Structure 1
Amino acid sequence: MSVDHPPGLDLDRLRALLDRERPGLVTGPLTGRLIEGGRSNLTYALCDGTSKWVVRRPPLGHVLATAHDMKREHRVISALHPTGVPVPRPVLLCENPEAAQVLGAPFYVMEFVEGTPYRTAEQLAPLGAERTRNAVLSLVDTLVELHAVDPAEVGLADFGRPEGFLDRQLRRWGKQLDASRNRELAGIDELHAALGRSLPASPAPAVVHGDYRLDNVLIGEDDEIKAILDWEMSTLGDPLTDLGLLVMYSRPLELPDSPISTTATAAGHPSPEELIERYAARSGRDVSAVSWYTAFAWFKLAVILEGIHYRYTQGQTVGRGFDRIGELVPVFIDHGLTTLQEG
């Protein structure tokens, strides 16, 4: 339901800014609501009775702009919007000091795109097997489109540091692990070390989404991708990291009542092997090292989950399901080790 002033969104000040910067855009009283499901940055839907938009801003009270860089998100969708990659049309970026007077933090506004983010196999079930298959294959095809964009041609040549990308990623997530260690985790150091010993040679750099999966895109009624969302982890780097993460999310966890949602068990969902073959055929890239990238994805998610578990043990989480996150971490570690060995 819409509310007059959801937390973190001052509609009066936002309306005044939009009227000044985009005169005529808003034609009626604004209402807004928080869109649930985001893990980090806050997302709101705006409506004036006729048109809809979306506002993205950092979490309430967060002061580390480098971790929630609105300018970076706005920049990448602005660069990609004229291409064939489906992203929302950017409307307005508001940075400090003006942003502090409007919402208390930097933010941007973009168009509202109609579509559904499918987070679970149960949500996909009404589509049926054929439509589910089409939607997931469309996910692969859209990833190929993204990775085909020449960063220099769209003004993103300096969007990241592709040299040494995989090594930096591995070291970064190793440091994240060290920051949340408060128990023994069998195999995680072995997995980290094995990944470091077998770093593959990266292909030519591309725009990397960083968290590419089915619930970070909007699917239309024609089973096509209408928009890729949540660009907060995007950079210029090794495109196969996106493929590895997508493959990881396409393998069933085989855990009853898991607090981590997955669509992999939905009827008609293509196998990981099909996704890899389709990406290879359509992109022309060598995917022979995909096992490394998938194992790295298992490692990265294990570290993320361990961080959540650590915060839970410190009493710093709010909501349900956090008490079971810790038991998932060894499962992700085992999958990572197995994947690397099989590769």
Structure 2
Amino acid sequence: MSKGNPPGLDLERLRAHLDRERPGLVAGPLGAELVEGGRSNLTYAVGDGVRRWVVRRPPLGHVLATAHDMRREHRVISALRTTDVPVPETVLLCEDEDVIGSPFYVMEFAEGTPYRTAEQLAAIGPDRTRTVVLGLADTLVRLHAVDPHEVGLADFGRPDGFLERQLRRWGKQLEASRNRDLPGIDALHQALGLALPHSPAPTVVHGDYRLDNVLVGADDTVTAVLDWEMSTLGDPLTDLGLLVMYSEQQDVPGSPLTTTRGAPGHPEPAEIVERYAAGSGRDVTALPWYTAFAYFKLAVILEGIHYRYTLGQTVGAGFDRIGQLVPLFIDNGLTTLQEG
């Protein structure tokens, strides 16, 4: 770890705050490095040469009120720590922006490997790959079995009308980044609205549940579920639909998006669904709708990235190819909905 300050984190001010709030926690000078992954909030691994922690803060230049975001992540992780859902132990929440320039929270460093590509899974072999991916479904079952009232999360979201609001929200996101003709996307949005399923009882929903948002231990079990910034109370099948959508994806040549689908031993999406259904006891017959909705959401997200690319607001390689992927997700969404 570097002893210098990574972007967005003043280690001296962080150390002073930790010494005030948790005396004796830190044993020596802090070093840090920015960790890849996460949807938008920044993640740092921080250590004193003896112990390691993780610091999460909003993205740089964020001008909206962000204390709620940090409080929300810290709250759900802290609540789930009392359950059998694997999450890191939280250390503290700081909403004073004077410390490092934004609200942040600190949690214990969780050991484990994030599997982000088929090549990474291929290296552990087909049997272990199968265990890892099916373990992802088992962990989702455990998350959705948590009673929000029992862990103090009864007011964590508004589950009534959840799917309607989600569909409306992502429709607005689409309009905010629409600068070209996208055949089929309006038809997909409309078809989803006309076929809204009846939601099961609400649960804690992760919001971005996929393999590269968990850590896997040496025994191939999930050691920690990470990146809770989109969590809420809502329809649990939205998590499953998103997981199935990611599990269906094949590698697209030249795409900056990675997928684990091609790894030998990777279970078929139908087996993942069956595993979840057996473990949860939920009716999954409406899952094609949820999977189609996941395709729609990702199409909107990718179109937003493409839009920012056309405005010269993205940095890095691969953004020039994002726009080509959007029609694929639209077509997959329409096909999934029609076949369901």
User: TM-score range with shorter-chain normalisation?
Assistant: over 0.9
- Relative to structure 1, the CA distance from residue 54 to residue 254 in structure 2 (aligned partners, 3 Å threshold; closer, same or farther) is closer
Residues 1:323 and 2:320 aligned together: yes
- Distance in 2 (CA, whole Å) between partners of 1:249 and 1:295 is 11
TM-superposed CA distance for 1:254, in Å, is 4.7
- Relative to structure 1, the CA distance from residue 151 to residue 73 in structure 2 (aligned partners, 3 Å threshold; closer, same or farther) is same
Question: TM-score, length-normalised on structure 1?
Answer: 0.97
Residue identity in the other structure for 1:16: A
2:110 corresponds to which of 109, 113, 118: 113
SS in structure 2 of the partner of residue 74 of structure 1:
helix
Q: CA RMSD in A?
A: 1.1
Residues 1:196 and 2:189 aligned together: no
- Relative to structure 1, the CA distance from residue 68 to residue 264 in structure 2 (aligned partners, 3 Å threshold; closer, same or farther) is farther
Equivalences for 1:213-252 in 2 at 5 Å? Answer: 213-252=210-249
- Distance in 2 (CA, whole Å) between partners of 1:16 and 1:114 is 26
Q: In the alignment, which residue of structure 2 is the partner of 1:184?
A: 181
Residues 1:285 and 2:277 aligned together: no
- The unaligned stretches of length 5 or more in structure 2 are none
C-alpha contact 1:245 1:293 (8 A) present in aligned 2: yes
- Distance in 1 (CA, whole Å) between partners of 2:202 and 2:38 is 28
Q: In the alignment, which residue of structure 2 is the partner of 1:299?
A: 296
Q: In the alignment, which residue of structure 2 is the partner of 1:172?
A: 169
TM-superposed CA distance for 1:38, in Å, is 3.0
- Distance in 1 (CA, whole Å) between partners of 2:268 and 2:173 is 31
Q: In the alignment, which residue of structure 1 is the partner of 2:85?
A: 85
- Distance in 1 (CA, whole Å) between partners of 2:321 and 2:3 is 33
SS in structure 1 of the partner of residue 123 of structure 2:
helix
C-alpha contact 1:68 1:232 (8 A) present in aligned 2: no
- Relative to structure 1, the CA distance from residue 294 to residue 67 in structure 2 (aligned partners, 3 Å threshold; closer, same or farther) is farther
TM-superposed CA distance for 1:219, in Å, is 0.6
Residue identity in the other structure for 1:202: S
SS in structure 1 of the partner of residue 55 of structure 2:
strand
1:129 corresponds to which of 122, 126, 129: 126
Equivalences for 1:130-169 in 2 at 5 Å? Answer: 130-169=127-166
- Distance in 2 (CA, whole Å) between partners of 1:38 and 1:80 is 19
C-alpha contact 2:158 2:233 (8 A) present in aligned 1: yes
Q: In the alignment, which residue of structure 1 is the partner of 2:46?
A: 46
SS in structure 1 of the partner of residue 125 of structure 2:
helix
Residue identity in the other structure for 2:171: G
SS in structure 1 of the partner of residue 282 of structure 2:
coil
TM-superposed CA distance for 1:253, in Å, is 2.9
C-alpha contact 1:41 1:68 (8 A) present in aligned 2: no
TM-superposed CA distance for 1:54, in Å, is 0.2
- Relative to structure 1, the CA distance from residue 6 to residue 254 in structure 2 (aligned partners, 3 Å threshold; closer, same or farther) is closer
- Distance in 2 (CA, whole Å) between partners of 1:116 and 1:196 is 38
Q: Which runs of 4+ in 1 moved over 6 A?
A: none
1:270 corresponds to which of 267, 270, 286: 267
Instruction: Render the CA deviation track for 1:283-309: whole Å, top value 9, x for unaligned.
Output: 000000000000000000000000000
TM-superposed CA distance for 1:252, in Å, is 2.7
Instruction: State the identity %.
Output: 77
- Equivalent pairs counted in the alignment come to 340
Instruction: Render the CA deviation track for 1:204-255: whole Å, top value 9, x for unaligned.
Output: 0000000000000001111000000000000000000000000000013352
C-alpha contact 1:86 1:228 (8 A) present in aligned 2: yes
Q: In the alignment, which residue of structure 2 is the partner of 1:308?
A: 305
